[in-house]
Homo-oligomer: A and B are copies of this chain.
Amino acid sequence: MEPQVTDAPPVLALARLGAVMRRAFSVRMAEEAWAVDAGLRPGCFSVLRAVATGATAPSQRALGDQLGIDPSDLVGLLDVLEAAGYVERRRDPADRRRYAVEVTDDGRHAIEQFEGVAATVADDVFGVLAPADRQTLEDLLVRVITAHEDGAAVGGSSS
């Protein structure tokens, strides 16, 4: 049998795979007391890591553009992160409209924690592949993702 389960352009299938990963991550994270107590949502970790990996403390708009998150949604995510003590909002002295978002030591520690959880999820999803193939897949994915993070919206809001 084997009736062509997925065809050439697996667009919606990949979308579904992404949703599955997000949900799996959310479920695993719900078991971590430190995350639940702080009210951390899945999106918080994307933001936290973007803040930590960026060279300089970015503004919220720069964060939103990089991650493709609407600035209005970023507010709530940063509120949670700041309440948890993982980031700090400081006024940019050069432009007092902006906040310079900086990660704290606790924030860096939290990143290590949740990356362990992410690794578990990745094992569940990519574990079906041989190690070499898995490495190849992850490398290619990172290339695609970083290419689109650099500011190229795919098909959406071209105002």
Chain A residues near B (Cβ < 8 Å): 1, 3-25, 27-28, 42-43, 45-46, 49, 53-55, 67-68, 115, 118-119, 121-122, 124-126, 128-129, 133, 136-138, 140-149, 154-156
Contact = CB atoms under 8 A, between A and B. Distances in A.
Contact of A12 (B6, B42, B147): B42
Contacts of A17: 14, 18, 141, 144-145, 148
A154 B125 contact: yes
B6 A148 contact: no
16 contacts: A5-B53, A6-B149, A10-B122, A12-B25, A13-B46, A16-B46, A17-B18, A17-B145, A19-B19, A20-B68, A20-B154, A126-B144, A128-B147, A129-B144, A133-B140, A133-B143
Contacts of A24: 154-156
B154 A121 contact: yes
Closest 8 CB pairs of A and B: A18-B18, A24-B155, A15-B22, A9-B122, A128-B147, A137-B140, A15-B18, A11-B118
B143 A8 contact: no
B128 A144 contact: yes
B23 A19 contact: no
B14 A21 contact: yes
Nearest to A158: B27
